[in-house]
């Protein structure tokens, strides 16, 4: 049994392993681990305390995938609920659908009895106001909800260096099944309704117990365009090791064109329990690994594979 996660998963990885040791499934472990990251108000990229969109509203994306059946559940642009990963799991279990967004996702969450709450913390609200006041005056900020030119401001407000964040968990259980999950508040000051890669199966998340599972954090638009998580598993299927598969998806990302290119982080765990972490952001990023015979998670360096990054205002 093994769990790997992004570094911000430290608050949840031990609990996730306890779930596996107690006989829970990989899907149970992934959900349990991510719920603790979502509850951590100090993490401004996930759940409670996540930084809001351009209008100051926290919109959350999440997905979960069961590698044994490849059944998946995802929600996007969800407002006012504490645990998007559990709502994504309910989509997987209760509906014939894979992805619900915005009002539909909120309606479903209400029907399923999930806890509603304000997800914008005081600290995140202050950070939002300070960030926007660096590029606009107070009158413009107050008028934003009625303005018809949000598209101009999002280019100023969205900072490619802040497009990271997000939490990734992948688990391999005693039965040999893999599951993967991703949860995020997305870009700080994103355009309302923007979805990243986290709720897009095949982009930010993919699990297939025959081969492996992969998850992403970073500039979600790039993982959507390159089909990064699904590609990683296809490379495993073709015989690559996790390290080789990770290098190949980073090479694919490096061939993308266009004015907006930023960093990506990828985690891969194969069906044999081998793993790799990649980053194109900066050297020195890590990921965590915990097996059933370890007492504390091991912090491992991600392989740094620089890809072209630029941000050109048009």
Minimum CB distance to ligand GLY, residue 217 (Å): 5
Minimum CB distance to ligand GLY, residue 231 (Å): 16
Contacts of 284 (CB under 8 A, 6+ apart): 301, 304
The single residue of 166, 167, 215, 307 carrying the catalytic annotation is 166
State the distance between the two ends of the chain, measured CA to CA, in whole angstroms: 49
| 132 sits in which H/E element | helix 122-133
CB 92, CB 186: distance < 8 Å? no
Residue 216 or 288: the one with the smaller Cβ distance to ligand GLY is 216
Q: In the annotation, is 166 catalytic?
A: yes
> b vs e for 4-23, b when ≥16 Cβ sit within 10 Å of the residue's Cβ?
bbbbbbbbbbbebbebbeee
CA 22 to chain CA centroid, Å, is: 26
Residue 17 or 232: the one with the smaller Cβ distance to ligand GLY is 232
Residue 247 or 281: the one with the smaller Cβ distance to ligand GLY is 281
Minimum CB distance to ligand GLY, residue 210 (Å): 26
Residue 52 or 220: the one with the smaller Cβ distance to ligand GLY is 220
Helix (H, G, I), strand (E, B) or coil at 259: coil
Q: State the residues that interact with ligand GLY by CB under 6 A.
A: 163, 166, 184, 186-187, 196-198, 204, 217-220
Minimum CB distance to ligand GLY, residue 291 (Å): 27
CA 307 to chain CA centroid, Å, is: 20
Residue positions annotated with a catalytic role: 166
């Amino acid at each position: 049994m093994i769990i790997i996660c992004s570094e911000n998963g430290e608050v949840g990885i031990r609990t996730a392993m306890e779930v596996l040791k107690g006989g829970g499934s990989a899907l149970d472990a992934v959900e349990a681990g991510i719920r603790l990251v979502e509850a951590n108000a100090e993490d401004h990229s996930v759940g409670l305390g996540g930084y809001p969109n351009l209008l100051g509203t926290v919109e959350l994306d999440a997905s979960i995938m069961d590698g044994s059946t490849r059944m998946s559940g995802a929600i996007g642009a969800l407002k006012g609920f504490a645990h998007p990963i559990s709502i994504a799991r309910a989509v997987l279990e209760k509906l014939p659908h894979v992805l619900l967004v915005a009002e539909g996702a909120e309606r479903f969450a209400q029907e399923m009895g999930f806890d509603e709450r304000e997800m914008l913390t005081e600290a995140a609200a202050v950070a939002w106001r300070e960030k926007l006041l660096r590029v606009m005056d107070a009158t413009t900020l107050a008028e934003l909800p009625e303005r018809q030119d949000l598209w101009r401001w999002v280019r100023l407000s969205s900072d490619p260096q802040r497009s990271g964040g997000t939490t990734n968990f992948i688990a391999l259980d005693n039965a040999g099944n893999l599951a993967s999950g991703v949860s995020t508040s997305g870009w700080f000051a994103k355009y309302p309704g923007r979805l990243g890669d986290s709720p897009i199966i095949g982009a930010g998340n993919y699990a297939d117990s025959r081969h492996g599972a992969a998850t992403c954090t970073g500039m979600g638009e790039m993982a959507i365009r390159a089909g990064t998580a699904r590609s990683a598993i296809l490379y495993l299927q073709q015989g690559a090791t996790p390290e080789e598969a990770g290098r190949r998806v980073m090479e694919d990302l490096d061939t993308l064109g266009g004015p907006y290119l930023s960093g990506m982080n990828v985690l891969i765990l194969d069906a044999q329990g081998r793993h790799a972490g990649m980053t194109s952001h900066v050297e020195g990023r890590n990921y965590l690994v915990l097996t059933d015979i370890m007492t504390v998670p091991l912090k491992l360096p991600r392989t740094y594979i620089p890809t072209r990054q630029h941000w050109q205002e048009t």
